[in-house]
Structure 1
Amino acid sequence: MANIRQTLMDRSDWGCDMQGRDVARRGLAGGATRRGFMKGGALALIGTSVIPGFLLRSVMAEATTAAASNKRLVVLFQRGAADGLNIVVPYQEKNYYAMRPTIAIQQKDVLDLNGFFGLHPAMAAFKPLYDQGHLAVIHAAGSTDTTRSHFDAQDFMESGTPGVKSTQDGWLNRALLAGPVPAGAPSAFRAVALGTQVPRTLQGKMPAIAVSNLADFSVGGKGPTTSAISNAFQAMYDESSDAVLHGTGQETFEAVKMLKAADPAHYQPAAGVTYPNTPFGNSLKQIAQLMKANLGVEAAFSDIGGWDTHQNQGAATGQLANRLTEFANGIAAFWKDMGDGAENITLVTMSEFGRTAKQNGTGGTDHGHANAMFVLGGTVKGGKVYGKWPGLDNAQLNEGRDLAVTTDFRRVLGEAAYKTLGARKLETVFPGAQLDPSGFLNFV
C-alpha cells in the first residue's frame, strides 16, 4: 500500500506512452494539481487544484447539454507518423510510382475512391463506409510547423498550437470548455481516454479520466470481485487527512460504481461484430461500451502506435498493411457495434506528420510533412476526398521531399469540435489559427 500511496501522492509527471515520449512534461493550467492514478486497477483521475466536483455521487449522472443531444466526438491518434501516400493512394500520379519503386501500391490493388485516389487494399473495411457516404477523407492535411521530431509534432498537434511549446492544455479539453455550459452536473465520464494516463489532448481545466480496462474495475468491500489494489486504494483515502485527496478518492470510487453498474465484464458487441484482439481493438470496444451504457461520454480519445516505418514498410502486404488492417477493422467494428447510436458520433483520425514521398534505401520512408485524415460519422458528408491536392511533381514537393500541407489540421478538428461538441469559441480552442465557420470544409 505504501507504493500505491507514493504513486498517488507524489507523482508530478506522467510517464511515456507507447512511443516512449513524455506526454506531459509540464503541469496543467491553473497551477498545482492533484492526480490520482491506479496503476493496476487502470483508473487515472486528473483535475485542477480544487476538488473535482464533476464526479457525481450517484449511479447515473445528469448529462451535459451536448450529451443530452447525444453528440459524441471520438479522436484517434496514429502515433509514429503514418504514411498517408500509401494509405490514400494518388494512383494517377506518375511520380508516385517513380519515387516508390518497391513500396508503391499498384493500381490493380488500389480500392478506388474517385478515379484519382484509392485506399490501400488492407483497408477494405473502410470501403463500404466511404461508399455509403459515412466516411470522408481529407488529404494533404497537417501542421503549419515543419518539425520532423515525433515528440514536438505530437505535442503541437495535441495542444493544438503548432510551434508553441508553452501551451499547457490540450485542444480537446479546451473544446469541451468552449461548448455549451452544462444544464446540470456533468457526467464523470464526460471526457475519457482509453489508456493508463490522460493524454496531452485531454489535459487541462476540464477534468478527464483514463481507463485501461473496464472489466478490471472493482470497489472496496468484501466479495469475490474485490481486488487487493482496489481495497488498498480506497483504504488510503479513508485514512487520509488531506481534504482534497480524501474528496478525490471518494468521488473516484463513485465513478467506479457508475461504471460497475454497466456490468462491463459481461459486455457483448452487437451481432456479427468482431474487434481486433489488440490493445487498439479493445480500446474501441470499450469506448463503445461506455457510450452504449449512457454514462454521459461526450469526448473519447485513443491511440495506436507502430506507424514509424523507416525499414521494410511493404506495399500491398507487409508491415504497414498489417497495421492498416487492424486500424480499419477496428474502426469498422466500432461503427457497426454502435448501431443506431453511430448517427450521433463523429470520429476523427490524425497523425503527427506523414512520410517522405520517396522511399529510402531500406525499403521504408522517413519523416515527412502532409498526411491523410479520416472523418467518420452519421452526419458526415462522406464518399468524398476533401482538400486541395498539391501534386507530387518534384517541384511541388515540400522541401523537395514531402507532400505539401494544403489543409491545416486545426481546420479539420475545429469543424468537428464546432459541429459535434458545440465549441463556438474557436479562438480559445485553437488560438492563433483564425478559424471561422465560413472556412470549414463542410464535411459535417
Structure 2
Amino acid sequence: MNRKEFLKLTSSGISLLPFLSLPIEGKETSPQPKTLVLIELKGGNDSLNTFIPYKEKLYYQLRPKLSVPADKIISLNGTLGLHPVLTEMKDIWNQGKLALFPGIGYEDPNRSHFRSIDIWDTASDEDEFLSEGWISEIFKANNIPEGLIAHGIIIGSDDEGPLFGRGMRNVVIQNIRKFLNDAKHSEEEEIGVLQKEIKKYNGINPSLSHILTIQKNLLISSIKLREKIKKPVQLKIKFPQNRSGKNFELAAQIIGSEVPIPVIKITLGGFDTHKNQKPKHEKLLKELSSSLASFEKAMKELGRWDDILVLSYSEFGRRVKENGSDGTDHGAAATHFALGGKVKGGIYGTFPDLNALHKGDLKYTTDYRSIYRTIVEDWWTFKNHGRIDIKDKIKLSFL
C-alpha cells in the first residue's frame, strides 16, 4: 500500500487520517496571513507548448502538427514565448509579477504518473520512497501553531499531495455552498456519540480510542471552519464559470473569509494529452489563464495580493516529439511558474537544449527542490528543513 492508498475516513468534507496528533480545542492562532496556492496540472502538462522556445528549429521539426506558429506566439524575451491563449498571463508578466522556471526536474526521471507525483509531493529522489509530504515535514520541523483550524484546503481533488502527513488537518471542499449547508446538528450529535465511544474504549483499546478522538477533533474543526466562512465574501470580480474558474473562485472566497490557511491546493485535470492534444490543451490553457487573471484581480480587491504566492507543478512534462495520435507522451523536465504580489518577475534558470535530449526528453537544468527551498526560506522564512533534503539545492531569487 502506498501513501495515496493509506486508509482514510471521510466526514463532512474533512479528510480523516488515522494516527494523527490533532490538539485543536485550544486557542486559535494566526501565525501569518500568507497563503501558498499550489496548482497541480494533473496528468503532465505539455510545457513546451505552454512556454514555447519559438526560435528553436527542432521544436517545429519534431512537432509538425502540434507546434504553435511563431507569428502567433506571445513573445516574452525574443526566444521564449507564451501560447497565444495566455494573454492574461502576459499582462501579469508585464507587471513584473510572473516568474518562469524552465528545465525543472530531477535525476533519472520516472514517467509513471503515480511514482513521479509521489516524488514531487515528498521531495524525494527517484530511488527514495518517503511517506509524508514535503509541506507536512516542513511544518512539523518549524512548529506551526496547533490552533490553526486547518493547515490546508484541498480543491478539485481529495488528494492531499504535499500536505499529507502526521499531524496535518486538511479540509476537502469541492463546493462551498454544499460545505456550508452540511448538517451542523448531525455533526454535533456524532461528536457526542464519539465522546461516549472514546471513554468506552480508552482502557481496553487505546488505538481505537485514539482514532475516534481524531474523528471527533476533525468534526469540531469542520464546525469551526463553517462558522468562519458561513457568509462567503461577495467579490466584484467575476470568475469564468468553468471548472478552473470555479476552483479559483472557491479559493478566493476562502481567502476572503480571513481564515488563516497556510496552503490551498487546487488540482486541475486533463493534462495527460496522448491524443488530439491541440484543441484540448488550448482549452485548458485558456481556462487557466483567465482564471488566474480573475484570481489576481480578486486578491487585489481583497488587499491580499502581496500575501499570495501561486505556484504550478505537474508530475512531468511531455516528450519533445509528437506521437502518431496528434498528441504527446510522458516526458521529463518542464517549465513551471509562480506569480503573486511579492514575486520578482523574470526567467530563472536555463532552458534545456533541444539538441541534447535524453531518450527523447528535455534534460532537467534545475532541481525541482530549488523552488521548494526558495519557498521555505524566502516565503515562509523558516529556518529548519527537517528531513527534506534541500540544503544543497540552488536557491532561486524570485521572492
- TM-score normalised by length of structure 2: 0.88
Q: For 2:107, what is the secondary structure of its paired residue?
A: coil
Provide the rounded CA distance (Å) in 2 between the counterparts of 1:149 and 1:409: 17
State the Cα RMSD in Å: 2.5
Which residue of structure 2 lines up, in the alignment, with residue 409 of structure 1? 368
- Asked whether the 8 Å contact 1:192–1:299 carries over to 2, the reply is yes
Match of 1:18 in 2: none
Which residue of the partner structure matches residue 307 of structure 1? 271
Cross-structure match for 2:204: none
Residue 26 of structure 1 deviates from its aligned partner by 5.1
Q: Check 1:300–1:442 CA distance in 2 against 1; reply closer, same or farther (3 A cut).
A: same
Residue equivalent to 2:254: 290
Counterpart secondary structure, 2:96: coil
1:208 aligns with 2:169: yes
The 2-side partners of 1:25 and 1:145 are apart by 25
Which whole-Å CA distance do the structure 1 matches of 2:185 and 2:227 have between them? 20
SS in 1 for 2:264: strand
Secondary structure of the equivalent of 1:121?
coil
Conserved 8 A contact 1:78-1:351: yes
Q: Distance in 2 between matches of 1:427 and 1:254?
A: 29
C-alpha deviation, 1:354, in angstroms: 0.8
What is the CA deviation profile of residues 139-168 of structure 1, one whole-angstrom value per residue up to 9, with x for unaligned ones? 111122321111111111111102145311
Tell me what 2:298 maps to: 337
3-state SS of paired residue (1:240): helix
Per-residue CA deviation, residues 36-59 of structure 1 (Å, 9 max, x unaligned), is 412xx3222336444x10x2467x
Equivalent residue runs for 1:147-186 within 5 Å: 147-179=110-142, 181-182=143-144, 185-186=146-147
Instruction: Give TM-score scaled by structure 1 length.
Output: 0.80
Deviations 1:72-115 (Å, cap 9, x if unpaired)? 21211111111010000001111111111111011121111111
Task: Report the CA distance shift for 1:353/1:287 in structure 2 as closer, same or farther (over 3 A).
Answer: same
Question: 2 CA distance for matches of 1:198 and 1:100?
Answer: 34
2: distance between equivalents of 1:227 and 1:425?
39
Which among 218, 238, 250 is matched to residue 252 of structure 1?
Answer: 218
* Equivalence for 2:205: none
- Within 5 Å, give how 1:96-175 maps onto structure 2: 96-175=59-138
Tell me the equivalent position of 1:321: 282
Could you say if the C-alpha distance between residues 352 and 198 of structure 1 is closer, same or farther in structure 2, counting changes exceeding 3 Å?
A: closer
Q: 1:46 to 1:296 in 2, by over 3 A?
A: farther
In structure 2, distance between residues paired with 1:185 and 1:411: 28
Q: CA deviation at 1:337?
A: 1.2
Q: CA deviation at 1:388?
A: 1.1
In the alignment, does 2:352 pair up with 1:390? yes
State how many pairs are aligned: 387
User: Contact 2:19 / 2:211 at 8 angstroms: preserved in 1?
Assistant: no
Distance 1:440 1:245 in 2: 40
Q: Map Cα deviations across residues 160-187 of structure 1 (whole Å, 9 max, x no partner).
A: 10214531101111122233x34x5431
Per the TM alignment, residue 247 of structure 1 is displaced from its structure 2 partner at its CA by 3.3
- The residue aligned with 1:426 is 385
| Distance in 1 of aligned mates of 2:39 and 2:76 | 22
Q: Secondary structure at the match of 1:274?
A: coil
